[in-house]
Amino acid sequence: MTPGNDPGAAFEPTARTRVRRLPERGKYDRDTVYAILDAGLVCHVGYNIEGRPFVTPTAYWRDGDRLYWHGSAASRMLRAQAHGIPVCLTVTLLDGLVLARSAFHHSMNYRSVMAIGDAEMVEDPDEKLAALRAFVERVVPGRWAGLRPITAQEVKATSVLRLRLEEVSAKVRTGPPKDDDADYGLPVWAGVVPVSITLGTPEPDPKLAAPDARPPAVQTIRLGR
Amino acid sequence: MTPGNDPGAAFEPTARTRVRRLPERGKYDRDTVYAILDAGLVCHVGYNIEGRPFVTPTAYWRDGDRLYWHGSAASRMLRAQAHGIPVCLTVTLLDGLVLARSAFHHSMNYRSVMAIGDAEMVEDPDEKLAALRAFVERVVPGRWAGLRPITAQEVKATSVLRLRLEEVSAKVRTGPPKDDDADYGLPVWAGVVPVSITLGTPEPDPKLAAPDARPPAVQTIRLGR
C-alpha cells in the first residue's frame, strides 16, 4: 500500500518538515493536512530570486496529493518558480487569540500546513484545463458550467504550477492558555477570543445586466472551516 | 525631510519591491502600508536554510518604521534569521471573492504588504521589553498592566527580531470584477462576496479562578480593519 492510496495515511516527516518547537503541535496524517488545505484559499509561497527569499500570497487548490496555484504567464513569480525550483507553500488559518495570565504564555490558536518541494509547470493542456475548472469549483461549487466558456487563448495566458505533496507537515494549536501553576489564582481574565472568517452578503456588480441571475449561496463556499 | 519623519511619505520602490504585474495595484505610501500592517496580526516570513526557502507564519507588530516578530530563543527559524540574513515578511488580508462572468476574470479583493530586508536580533534589553509590551498592547489594548509581571528569565528565553521598513510595497485590489466588454450582457451573476475576520465571544479558560475578571471588550481588538 502506498501512502497516496490511503487518505488517512501519514506523510513521513523529514528533517525539514518535522515540527521541532512544541513537537506536540505537529501533525503528519493526511486527514489533518487535507482538511487544513481544503479550508484555506490563500497560501504564501516562498521562492528565491537571486538567492533572496520572496513570499507572495496567492490562491491555491488541492487535488489529491497535488497542490496547484496559477497566475499570468508573464508573472515574475511564476517564471521564477517554473523550472523545478524549490518552493515552500504555507497555509495558515487563525482560530483564536489565547490570552494568558502572563505575557509569556499568550499564544494563538491556529491550523497551518507547510509543504516543501520543487514546483512543476503544468504543460499538459488537459490537466491545465481540469485544474482551472477545479479551482473555480473549489471556490464556488457549481459555478464553472454557467460561465462564459474559457478560451484557448485564456488557457495559454495562464500558467498553472503544481507541487506534489511529499514533504508536508501541519501544526495545530487548540484550547485554552497554558499558564504557570502559580499564576492560575491571579485575578486576571484568561481564555480564548475566537477568530473566524465570515462571508458577507454578495454584492452585485453595478454593471450586472442579468436580472434573473442569482448570487451563489454563501453556504456553499467553504472558507476557513 | 527624511521619509521616516513623515507618516504620509512614500517608500521608494526598488527593483525588488516595485509591483510589476498589474502595477495599478501597487501602493508605496506609508499611510497605506501602515494601515495594512496594523490591521494584520499574522505575517508569513520567508528565509533560507541551506539555500532552500521556508515560509513560517508568525505574529508580528509594528513600531514606526520597524517590524517586530518573536519566538523562543531555541527556535530554528529565529536562529536562522538572527544574523542579518535576508527575510521577506508578507502580510495578506483577504477582503472578497470576485466572481466574474468568465473563469479568467475571477479574482480576489485583498490588501497585502511585502517587506524585504535583513533581520536583526534585538539585543538591547530595554528595546526588547518595550517591544514585547507593545505586542501585547497591540493585540489587547490595556492588557499589559494587569498581567503577572514578566520576568527577566522570560525576556531572556524570548528572541525578538526586527526588520527596518525600507524596501516595502503594498498591493491592493478593490471593487467589482472587470469583465470583457462582450461578456457584460451574459446571464451570469457577477459581483463580490465580502470576506472578513470576525471575533467571537471570549471563551473563559475552564480553570479561571478570577470571578471578577472581565474578558476584554472585543471591540478594542483591531483585526482585519
ipTM of the complex: 0.93
Facing residue for B76 by CB, picked from A20, A45, A190: A20
- Alpha carbons within 13 angstroms on the beta-carbon side of residue A14 total 11
* CATH superfamily, region B3-176: Electron Transport, Fmn-binding Protein; Chain A (2.30.110.10)
Question: Which residue does chain B place closest to A90, by CA atoms?
Answer: B55
Rounded to two decimals, the pTM is 0.94
Give the residue carrying C-alpha cell 469583465: B179
Chain B residues in contact with A48 by the CB 8 A cut-off are 48, 51, 53
For residue A225, what are the CA distances in angstroms to A2, A93, A94, A111, B174?
28, 9, 11, 10, 25
pLDDT at residue B41 in the model: 97
CATH topology of domain A3-175: Pnp Oxidase; Chain A (2.30.110)
pLDDT over threshold 90, residue B80: no
- The reply to whether residue A185 touches residue B209, judged by beta carbons under 8 angstroms, is yes
* Interval B175-211: pLDDT, tens: 999 999 999 999 999 999 999 999 999 999 999 998 7
Mean pLDDT is lowest, of A21-25, A118-122, B80-84, B129-133, for B80-84
Residue of A nearest to B215 (CA): A189
Instruction: Look over chain B and give the mean of its residue pLDDT values, rounded to a whole number.
Output: 92
pLDDT at B4 over 80: no
Cβ-count burial of A217 within 10 angstroms (0-12 exposed, 13-18 middle, 19+ buried)?
exposed
Q: How many CB atoms lie within 10 A of CB B207?
A: 14
pLDDT less than 70: residues of chain A: 1-8
Q: Find, among B119, B40, B16, the residue nearest to B77 by Cα.
A: B119
Partners of residue B136 in chain A, C-beta under 8 Å = 103, 106
The residues spanned by each domain of chain B are: 3-176
A108 in Cβ contact with A97 (< 8 Å): yes
